[in-house]
Amino acid sequence: MIFEEKIKARIEEKLGSKIKGFTSLSGGCISDAFKVTMDNGSNFFLKYNSSSSNDMFIKEANGLKELSKANAIRIPEVLSFNDDYILLDYIPTGSKKKSFFEDFGRRFAEMHKYAADEFGFYEDNYIGSNPQKNIPDAKEKNDWVRFYFNKRILFQLQLAEKLGNSTDALRKGISKLEDKIEEIIGDSKEKPSLLHGDLWGGNYMVDENGNAVLIDPAVYYGHREADLGMTKLFGGFSLEFYRAYVETFPLEDGYDYRENIYKLYHVLNHLNLFGGGYYSQALSLIKFYV
């Protein structure tokens, strides 16, 4: 494989061992995934994209490192990365233990207790392959409503305009939403939580001990309801997950009402990633409020 010689020396220098071989793995739709086996018998996980011309892997590495600071859920250790690859420790997959979702919900709540003083993040990153704007302006740093509308909903509308995915109905709907956004979200006094940013069934794995491992983050600090809203899309998680979460870190009144506003960001992002199939869903979520 052509890529082997391009990064083999870098990996071997980093790990202090010779590479014995690469095994192709099933993975995401953006990059190729491999199990890297070393001469000493150790294994590592490699994601590689030869056409990568941006900093996607760098931002992924920084996100994983940030999540690990909470020491709440298992996060793959970042060993090496560059523009065209990221190398992580290899985590064998297993089967969910009986208390999987209960433990997952409790640990996810503990992760959300890891907080910052301001909303956003020190760098922009990606949500899927789309850019995610995280660097707040002066007024957004301590104003969740302003940050969320500008950096999440409005940015996705602007992206939809560029990609030809917007319509008058979508523009008018989001304009009406802007007028009501403070009323919808309310005035929470919670500190900004560490968020995975893109948690659904495809962005966690089950390790050899039957526990959850978080992968493929879109990290920033925000209101934790934004993370939970995403988990309700694409089938959602089990009732045990949410019950354990609330027992560990109770939610403010009205969460169910606010859930759709947080789903909207991800549905708009999917509209911009995959096209019109998500258009009607986005309008439906907007019409729930306006």
User: Is 80 a domain residue?
Assistant: yes
pLDDT at 250: 98
Query: Which candidate in 143, 198, 216, 227 is catalytic?
Result: 198
Q: In which band, very low, low, confident or very high, does the pLDDT at 265 lie, cut at 50, 70 and 90?
A: very high
pLDDT band, residue 98 (cuts 50/70/90)? very high
| pLDDT tens figures, 146-198 | 999 999 999 999 999 999 999 999 999 999 999 999 999 999 999 999 999 99
H helices, E strands: number in the chain: 10, 11
Do both 39 and 170 map to the same domain? no
One domain, residues 141 and 197:
yes
**pLDDT in the model for residue 28:** 56
* 36: containing domain: 2-89
**What CATH code is carried by the domain that includes residue 20?**
3.30.200.20
200 and 275 fall within a common domain = yes
More confident residue, 179 or 18: 179
Which pLDDT score, from 0 to 100, does residue 68 have? 98
Mean pLDDT of the chain: 93
CA angle, residues 199, 203, 204, in degrees to nearest 5: 100
Do residues 208 and 282 both lie within one domain? yes
- Judge contact between 59 and 220, C-beta under 8 A: no
- Write down the pLDDT at residue 153: 98
Residue 111 domain-assigned (yes or no): yes
Domain count, the chain: 2
Confidence bin at 205 (pLDDT 50/70/90):
very high
Tokens of 96: 């969910």
Per-residue model confidence (pLDDT) at position 84: 86
Q: What burial letters (b/e) apply to 90-109, b meaning 16+ CB within 10 Å?
A: ebeeeeeeeebbbbbbbbbb
Pair 58, 138 in one domain? no
Give the pLDDT of residue 3. Answer: 56
Residue 83 is a catalytic residue: no
Q: How would residue 1 be classed by pLDDT, with cut points 50, 70 and 90?
A: low
Q: Which residues contact 220 (CB under 8 A, 6 or more apart)?
A: 119, 120, 121, 125, 132, 134, 195, 197
Task: Specify the higher pLDDT residue, 193 or 18.
Answer: 193
* pLDDT tens digits, 266-281: 999 999 999 888 999 9
Give residue 151's identity as a one-letter amino acid code.
Answer: K
pLDDT band at 46 (very low <50, low <70, confident <90, very high): very high
pLDDT at residue number 202: 92
Q: Provide the pLDDT for residue 52.
A: 55
pLDDT on residue 33: 87
Question: Does the pLDDT value for residue 14 go beyond 90?
Answer: no
Residue 49 lies in a domain: yes
233-259 pLDDT, tens digit per residue, is: 988 899 999 999 999 999 999 999 999
Whether residues 163 and 74 fall in one domain: no
Give CA angle at 215 (236, 75), nearest 5°. 115
> Which amino acid is located at 245 in the chain?
Y
Q: What angle do CA 125, 63, 219 make, to 5 degrees?
A: 65
Average pLDDT on 91-95 reads: 96
State residue 27's pLDDT score: 57
Residue 223 buriedness (CB in 10 A; 0-12 / 13-18 / 19+)? buried
Res. 228 pLDDT band, cuts 50 70 90: very high
Q: What is the mean pLDDT of residues 120-132?
A: 96
pLDDT score for 138: 96
Say if residue 196 is in the same domain as residue 71: no
Secondary structure E strands in the chain: 19-25, 32-38, 43-48, 78-82, 85-89, 125-127, 130-132, 193-195, 204-206, 212-214, 220-222
User: Is 108 in the same domain as 248?
Assistant: yes
The CA distance from 209 to 211, in Å, is 6
Confidence bin at 88 (pLDDT 50/70/90): very high
| Higher per-residue confidence, 103 vs 83 | 103
User: Is residue 263 over pLDDT 80?
Assistant: yes
Together in a domain, 136 and 251? yes
Q: Where are the beta strands (DSSP E) in 5-115?
A: 19-25, 32-38, 43-48, 78-82, 85-89
